[in-house]
Amino acid sequence: MASRCRCSPLRWRLTPGCICRDERAGMNWIDSLAAPLFVSWQLTRACDLACLHCCTDSAPNKPLADELDADAAMRLAEDIVRHDVPYVMLCGGEPLIVPYFFDIAEYLGRAGVKLKIETNGQRFDAAAAERLKRLPIRSIQISLDGDTQDVYGRQRPGASLAKTHAACRAVRDAGLPLEVTFAPTRMNIHQAEAVIARARDLGAFRFNTGALMRIGRAARLWPRIAPSEADYARFRETLHRQQHIIDDTMQFCHDPFAIEAGLQQSLGSPPATLMVLPNGWVKVVAAIGYVCGDLRRMTLTEVWDSYRAAWRNETVLDAIRRAIAAEAGHADANTWQSIPDEGAVT
Ligand code: SF4
């Protein structure tokens, strides 16, 4: 059972022993946990869209060659349940194009695992919402990257804004919690205020945003799509203004704003999160390419051990420090590689 830490009463500790003393001894707070508190699981790299800002390089018919099949995915779901992981996000690519998406969601949900589903909304309809509402859903997160078809479609070629709005309504009509996310680019940042208003009207309880990540396709198209400093200054002003106007109806989630600030926080207190790639590999953090385990060959306990060891590994920590210092280096984050001296993930 969790109790408050005596050294820092704002923190909770989950096991006997003092986390702060552990940290002073070169340990991290996650070393006191037997399993992750959160698994972010990319079910596939494939997507029905090919957005310009995509950090996972997703596109139609572009799954990884070695993605988990239905049986391997179910074995991983069983391992997650066995390890009492309380919270899982199913994402991609687009998770709803995965034929066994509902099998995994229903297995996890019926076992009591709380779920977040991240979708582009193009195929999320009333039937999907009806099925999911029987599960412990923390949120359905839908991307709203524009408030007119013209702007939305320029960033998400071929996507329908009307379908995305319909998906948001399907979520709310089923009584499910809706989160909206907005990825700012040079193309859509001027519509931020309208998207915030739209998200509120659609009944979102949270609006997520932050600086565009320079990973994947976004990195390749960076000069074309990255907002300028002046764009960001106006955007942040808008966020702060809107937050004060409507903060009791919708939470704003934009801190840390840039991925570098998030990495800095993680250096001080690593997240209790496993980021699972579609082939079962597990990344240490999104902005660097190091992989600390392979869930096809290792149990979740073994991968959790390697993940925690990665946060004490000087090579990994140096790479994170470099990623904090130079955003351009994030462009290599999808070139996955084993951590030197930690054994190859093949
Ligand atoms: S940003 Fe999301 S919806 Fe767009 S291509 Fe990438 S995974 Fe698909």
Q: How far apart are CA 98 and CA 105, in angstroms?
A: 11
What's the mean pLDDT when you consider all of the chain? 91
Domain assignment of residue 250, given as a range? 29-338
Q: How far apart are CA 33 and CA 185, in angstroms?
A: 38
Length of the chain: 346
The model's pLDDT over 51-61, given as tens digits with 9 standing for 90+, comes to 999 999 999 99
Banded model confidence at residue 18, pLDDT cuts 50, 70, 90: very low
Which amino acid makes up residue 11?
A: R
CB atoms within 10 A of CB 150: 11
In a domain, 331, yes or no: yes
In a domain, 13, yes or no: no
Q: How far apart are CA 273 and CA 285, in angstroms?
A: 9
| Contact (Cβ atoms closer than 8 angstroms) between residue 285 and residue 49 | no
Q: How far apart are CA 229 and CA 241, in angstroms?
A: 18
Indicate the pTM of the whole model: 0.91
**CA distances for 6 relative to 10, 13, 19, 24, 26, angstroms:** 9, 9, 10, 15, 19
Ligand 1 proximity of 97 Cβ (cutoff 6 Å): no
In a domain, 1, yes or no: no
In a domain, 23, yes or no: no
Ligand 1 proximity of 63 Cβ (cutoff 6 Å): no
CATH number at residue 324: 3.20.20.70
Which residues lie below 8 Å from residue 263, measured CB to CB, with a gap of 6+? 285, 287, 320, 323, 324
User: How many angstroms does the Cα of residue 56 sit away from the middle of ligand 1?
Assistant: 7
Banded model confidence at residue 333, pLDDT cuts 50, 70, 90: confident
20: pLDDT strictly greater than 50: no
In a domain, 3, yes or no: no
Which residues lie below 8 Å from residue 150, measured CB to CB, with a gap of 6+? none
Ligand 1 proximity of 58 Cβ (cutoff 6 Å): yes
> Per the structure, how many domains does the chain have?
1
The model's pLDDT over 303-317, given as tens digits with 9 standing for 90+, comes to 999 999 999 999 999
CB atoms within 10 A of CB 33: 16
9: pLDDT strictly greater than 50: no
Which amino acid makes up residue 89?
A: M
The model's pLDDT over 126-158, given as tens digits with 9 standing for 90+, comes to 999 999 999 999 999 999 999 999 999 999 999
Gyration radius of the chain over CA positions? 20
CB atoms within 10 A of CB 336: 15
Which amino acid makes up residue 281?
A: W
In a domain, 64, yes or no: yes
CB atoms within 10 A of CB 67: 19
210: pLDDT strictly greater than 50: yes
In a domain, 344, yes or no: no
Q: Looking at residue 180, what is its pLDDT?
A: 98
With H, G, I as helix, E, B as strand and everything else as coil, classify residue 224: helix
Q: How far apart are CA 200 and CA 15, in angstroms?
A: 40
In a domain, 251, yes or no: yes
Q: Looking at residue 175, what is its pLDDT?
A: 98
User: How many angstroms does the Cα of residue 45 sit away from the middle of ligand 1?
Assistant: 9
**One-character DSSP codes across 40-56:** EEE--S--S---TT-SS
The residue whose CB lies within 8 Å of the most ligand 1 atoms, and thus the one to mutate among 94, 152, 212, 277, is 94
